[in-house]
Structures are given as C-alpha cells and as structure tokens.
Amino acid sequence: MADYGYEDFYVRNRACHCLRCVSYSLMGPAVLITIGVLFLIDHLGLLSFGRTIPILLIVIGLVKIAQRSAPDSGHVQPVPYYPPGTQVPIAPPKVTDRAPNSEVNRG
C-alpha cells in the first residue's frame, strides 16, 4: 500500500493560476450565458424554453469535463487551515525500507 501525503492529491486553490484551477470559475458564466441564450430563443419564438432545457444540462456537463481534463501543471497546493486552538496533526513518517513482499495476502 502506497503512502500518500496531502501534496499527492489535487486540491483546488483559488490563489493558483494553473489551467485546472482557473477552469473552475467557468461554471457560473457558462450557465448564465446559456440561460440568456435559451430565453432569447424562447422570446424569438423558435423553441419554447421547456424544450431547450437539455441544452443547459449539456453545457454543464461540458464544463465539468473541461474542469476535470484541464492540466494541472504549475499547480500550487493550498495551505491546510486549522482553526485556532486545535492541534495540528503530525505527519506520519514515510517508510521507505519495506520489503517488497511484506504484505499479507488473504483470499
């Protein structure tokens, strides 16, 4: 079993300017623009608003795919926050001298 630390996982950071962190700010504008276009289509009489709602779901899905697939090169992990008065947990030591077959297999 591998020892993973906090820095081994992606955590979104608002202060980071990597492409993956920046893409998380696209959801709100994409949804607002899509709703505006759907209301415009309804107002022009091309399609009713109720029939164009699946387009909104498609846009949300595309933005989520863009968020997950954006590269995180240059990413800066946020500093973990611990409220005042709480004890900061001590990181467990990393064990590097394990035998390759020391794990017990059951099955």
Q: What is the pTM of this model?
A: 0.60
Which domain range does residue 14 map to? 10-69
Domain assignment present for residue 64? The answer is: yes
Which two tokens mark 58? 């498609």
Domain assignment present for residue 74? The answer is: no
Asked if 33 and 69 count as a contact pair (C-beta separation under 8 A), the reply is no
What tens digit of pLDDT does each residue of 7-56 get? Answer: 566 777 777 878 887 888 888 999 999 999 999 999 999 999 899 999 99
- How many structural domains does the chain have? 1
Domain assignment present for residue 15? The answer is: yes
Please tell me the distance from the alpha carbon of residue 29 to that of residue 63, in angstroms, as a whole number: 11
Domain assignment present for residue 14? The answer is: yes
